[in-house]
Structure 1
Amino acid sequence: MASTLSALAFFFVMTAYYIVRPVRDQLSGAVGSQSLPMFYLSVFCVMLLLTPVFGALVSRFARKQLLGWSYSFFIACLLAFVPAFLAQDRIGARELGVVFFVWVSVFNLFVVSLFWSLMADLFHSVQARSVFPLIALGGMAGAIFGPIVTKLLVQVIGVAPLLVVSAVALSIALGLLLTLSSRHDCREPQRRDEVIGGSLWAGIKELWTRPFLRYMAILMVLGDGIGTLAYALMADYTKLHFPDRVARTSFYNDLDLATNILGAVLQLTLARWLLVRKGAVWALVVPSLVNLLLLLALALTGMGSITLFGATIPLLAITLVGSRGFAYGMTKPATDTLYTRVPRETRYKGKNFVETAIWRFGDVVVTIGVSLLGTLGVAVSGMAGIGAGIASVATWVAARAAKSPDLLPEQQVDPAKPAPAQPAQA
């Protein structure tokens, strides 16, 4: 029951996000990659400011209250943005883009990160290896459903009303998560009303003291850097080929749909098989190897394209879809299973810091690098070659991360506590 409700909740979380994601991306496509460093730097600064705020909330409130306040805040913000998008032409794509890009990035990272922190708190590590790919599959179904809803509605109701639809989906997700937190804790149900406690700066401090978090931070910067590189190059491609905002929204929506279908297929097949049979090591290494192959192909062909089912598809789009599809469909479930083997404070604060501030720090570095290389005249093939080198390093880090010495044994719940009396469910 808990796994089913979790998958359904993640379905609505990702539906809400993927309705607003192409709305955000059409703004970045309107201004091109030269504005992305400013966008990502703004996000990074906001993340740094919010990290101690999130730490304070985790230290003070029980998880049910934390969920309620956090999700309700983002629902209210979605509704507050509707008037701004009705006046987008008067405000300007760049000005609205900075604000909305920052907000959606914060929305994605905090809402999704908090969801998986709760999952790591509800399930034992052995359960997680079997259940998390299925929960992620529910999210991937939402990530497919969201773009379909967007594609159907954007031509009829326009961009602004999509935010209301997203708010409704997130409200349903909140109701399901509150039910899970109250009634379906597979570890220790009495903890639902316990305050997690600890320092509000714990997420930052643990990055320097816990080897596993350091590996996760490095892997986040390197692995996400590949996707950010492809995203930045795609922004220039979109600016050149899609001058209309509805066309840009539809194009980015198609990219999201293809990405999420790939992720769903992986979660139904290879990802769960690797996690159950081989553990997290190969589920982390395989996506890095795929990135390496995609970038080598892009380095050799530049802005080449292939014809598939009568359609001409840029190789850059294939690289973006492939890197993201494997990240969502395989890397994410693998890393989240590992977070079941760390203390509660690390699951919430350390995980959140890595998946928010560290993630966006990597985005800032990569987008600034792309802008500098473009200014120096480096072509797409040259940038892809550099990305291939990064993917090689990420492969090595991924193999080390899953074997970090400070990870708890799979049967143990928290440090200084004995293994549960009953065996963990498979």
Structure 2
Amino acid sequence: MNNNSISFLPSIEKKEFYTLFKAFMFFFFVLASWYALRPVRNELAVQGGIFNLPWLLMGVMAAMLIINPIYSWLVSRINQNKIILYIYSFFIINLALFLLLWSSTDGQGRVWTGRAFYIWANVYSFFVVSVFWVTMINFFSHTDSKKFFGIISAGGSLGAFFGSSVARYFSTEICGNSSISDLGPMSLIIFSIFSLFFAIYFSRSFRDERNSNTEQEVGGSSLVAIKNIIKEPAIRNLGLYVTLFTMLMTTSWMISLGIVEDWSDDPCERTAFFATIEQIVTPLTLLMQLFLASYILRRIGSKTILVIYGLLFACAFIGYALSPTITTVMMVVISLRIFEYGLNKPTRESIYTQLKKQDRYKSTVLIDTFIARSGDVIGGWFVRGLVGTGIAVLSVTWAALPFAMLISYMGFQVNKSINNE
């Protein structure tokens, strides 16, 4: 295709608009549910101490390892159109249980509830989003994914903005001066539950648009995703790419948490800062998704986008090393998040549409949950290990630079292996 003939905005036929709208609203409520809880999770990470984070991340990875075969077993045996209903209903029950625990305990009980919530929240955030994208990559073709995934992602960004706005309201109006009040977290959990109910509603409407040949079980072994991540070059390279960028995301995050901790000792101020970042990231990401993602993906292709990520990480770490300030934290976090959610995530999901059916349902979820969390654990211990040898936290930024370059190399390898499928 001649790149000069590519229109800036994708053409959307009348019959495609309604389906696109439902997918847009589906993702809106999925991310609204998560982003209302995200600042609370971030504050719990600060309260727990940044050097305890690797242990919590290991708990998250262990949970992912246990849950993935269960998910694969379930997907192998149920109708494809029931997957969202079952998975999201399970998480709604979880939210209700945390609400009950939070309201019925205090003191040490809340400390352990907070730790359990941190682990659970990371599992939740990855699974609800991964299962959403499983629905999308099995509905849209590769060509349509390049046109629509940016726009669908914009629905998620609006939902994220809505959810983070709710979180910011409670952190500034109800939170108080020393800690998060009882009402704040309880209200946010209730909000998340209702958001998931709406997500289920739109997923059912979305299901009705599918062809009858999707009304079947996926089949296969509960361990097929693990086997394919080892044997299949395309799946393996995608897994390595995700491991590397999540490793560096966590490395960057731990560095930023240290800077934030030095900046303020007020939990509510820090929670408000995290929520402010969400509110800045979301509209900028939205602009990227609505007006640029489709055009960039169709014009320069997935390979260039995957390769650029490593260069962006390199710039981020150099920024932390040269200017470790709260302003740098905001700039780095905003830049990485906009690129990830505005461009890199839609690109990876577009690549997923080219995989085999079982890989679309199982391997992609394994990559986006356990493999991604493994990268987090590696990043956490990377920082903790270097600091344990006497290296200053900010000096870790220089040690991370070679891994940033490795991301760019793996981006090239992902594209090569997919084209050889």
TM-score, normalising length: structure 1: 0.88
Asked if 1:404 corresponds to 2:421, the answer is: no
The superposition leaves residues 77-106 of structure 1 with CA deviations (integer Å, 9 ceiling, x where unpaired) of: 112211333367513665223211111111
The superposition leaves residues 367-426 of structure 1 with CA deviations (integer Å, 9 ceiling, x where unpaired) of: 112112222232243211122221111011112212324666xxxxxxxxxxxxxxxxxx
2:108 to 57, 74, 91: 91
Matched residue SS, 2:220: coil
Counterpart in the other structure of 1:263: 285
2:341 to 323, 328, 333: 328
Q: How do 1:126-145 and structure 2 match up within 5 A?
A: 126-145=143-162
Counterpart in the other structure of 1:361: 374
Asked if 1:343 corresponds to 2:356, the answer is: yes
State whether residues 246 and 379 of structure 2, in contact with CA within 8 Å, keep that contact through their aligned partners in structure 1.
no
1:289 to 300, 306, 311: 311
In structure 2, the CA distance between the partners of 1:191 and 1:94, relative to structure 1 (3 Å rule), is: farther
Calculate the aligned-residue CA RMSD, in Å: 1.9
TM-score, normalising length: structure 2: 0.89
In structure 2, the CA distance between the partners of 1:82 and 1:139, relative to structure 1 (3 Å rule), is: same
- Of the structure 1 ranges 259-268 and 12-21, higher mean CA displacement relative to structure 2 is found in 259-268
The superposition leaves residues 199-234 of structure 1 with CA deviations (integer Å, 9 ceiling, x where unpaired) of: 111110110121111111111111112211121123
Matched residue SS, 1:342: coil
State whether residues 245 and 375 of structure 2, in contact with CA within 8 Å, keep that contact through their aligned partners in structure 1.
no
1:33 to 50, 56, 62: 50
State whether residues 30 and 239 of structure 1, in contact with CA within 8 Å, keep that contact through their aligned partners in structure 2.
no
Counterpart in the other structure of 1:217: 239
Counterpart in the other structure of 1:48: 65
Q: How do 1:2-401 and structure 2 match up within 5 A?
A: 2-86=19-103, 89-91=106-108, 94-154=111-171, 155-156=173-174, 157-181=183-207, 183-185=208-210, 189-301=211-323, 303=324, 305=325, 313-401=326-414
State whether residues 216 and 401 of structure 1, in contact with CA within 8 Å, keep that contact through their aligned partners in structure 2.
yes
Shift of 1:73: 0.7
The superposition leaves residues 252-295 of structure 1 with CA deviations (integer Å, 9 ceiling, x where unpaired) of: 21222223333223223442221122221122222322222222
Q: 1 CA distance for matches of 2:42 and 2:82?
A: 32
In structure 2, the CA distance between the partners of 1:2 and 1:407, relative to structure 1 (3 Å rule), is: farther
In structure 2, the CA distance between the partners of 1:405 and 1:65, relative to structure 1 (3 Å rule), is: closer
Matched residue SS, 2:344: helix
Counterpart in the other structure of 1:419: none
State whether residues 42 and 274 of structure 2, in contact with CA within 8 Å, keep that contact through their aligned partners in structure 1.
yes
Q: 2 CA distance for matches of 1:240 and 1:31?
A: 15
State whether residues 383 and 393 of structure 2, in contact with CA within 8 Å, keep that contact through their aligned partners in structure 1.
no
Number of residue equivalences: 395
Shift of 1:8: 0.9
Shift of 1:365: 1.2
Matched residue SS, 1:199: coil
Matched residue SS, 2:186: coil
State whether residues 43 and 270 of structure 2, in contact with CA within 8 Å, keep that contact through their aligned partners in structure 1.
yes
Q: 1 CA distance for matches of 2:232 and 2:404?
A: 24
Matched residue SS, 1:361: helix
The superposition leaves residues 332-382 of structure 1 with CA deviations (integer Å, 9 ceiling, x where unpaired) of: 000000111111110111001111111111111111121122222322432
For structure 2, the 5+ residue unaligned runs are 1-17, 175-182
State whether residues 274 and 282 of structure 1, in contact with CA within 8 Å, keep that contact through their aligned partners in structure 2.
no
In structure 2, the CA distance between the partners of 1:242 and 1:298, relative to structure 1 (3 Å rule), is: closer
Q: 2 CA distance for matches of 1:397 and 1:85?
A: 43
State whether residues 249 and 376 of structure 2, in contact with CA within 8 Å, keep that contact through their aligned partners in structure 1.
no
State whether residues 252 and 317 of structure 2, in contact with CA within 8 Å, keep that contact through their aligned partners in structure 1.
no
State whether residues 26 and 202 of structure 2, in contact with CA within 8 Å, keep that contact through their aligned partners in structure 1.
yes
State whether residues 32 and 236 of structure 1, in contact with CA within 8 Å, keep that contact through their aligned partners in structure 2.
no
Q: 2 CA distance for matches of 1:23 and 1:257?
A: 15
For structure 1, the 5+ residue unaligned runs are 306-312, 409-426
In structure 2, the CA distance between the partners of 1:26 and 1:88, relative to structure 1 (3 Å rule), is: farther
In structure 2, the CA distance between the partners of 1:79 and 1:15, relative to structure 1 (3 Å rule), is: same
The superposition leaves residues 138-182 of structure 1 with CA deviations (integer Å, 9 ceiling, x where unpaired) of: 11111112111211234334222110001101110111012112x
Matched residue SS, 1:195: coil
State whether residues 16 and 170 of structure 1, in contact with CA within 8 Å, keep that contact through their aligned partners in structure 2.
yes
Q: 2 CA distance for matches of 1:201 and 1:89?
A: 40
State whether residues 30 and 159 of structure 2, in contact with CA within 8 Å, keep that contact through their aligned partners in structure 1.
yes
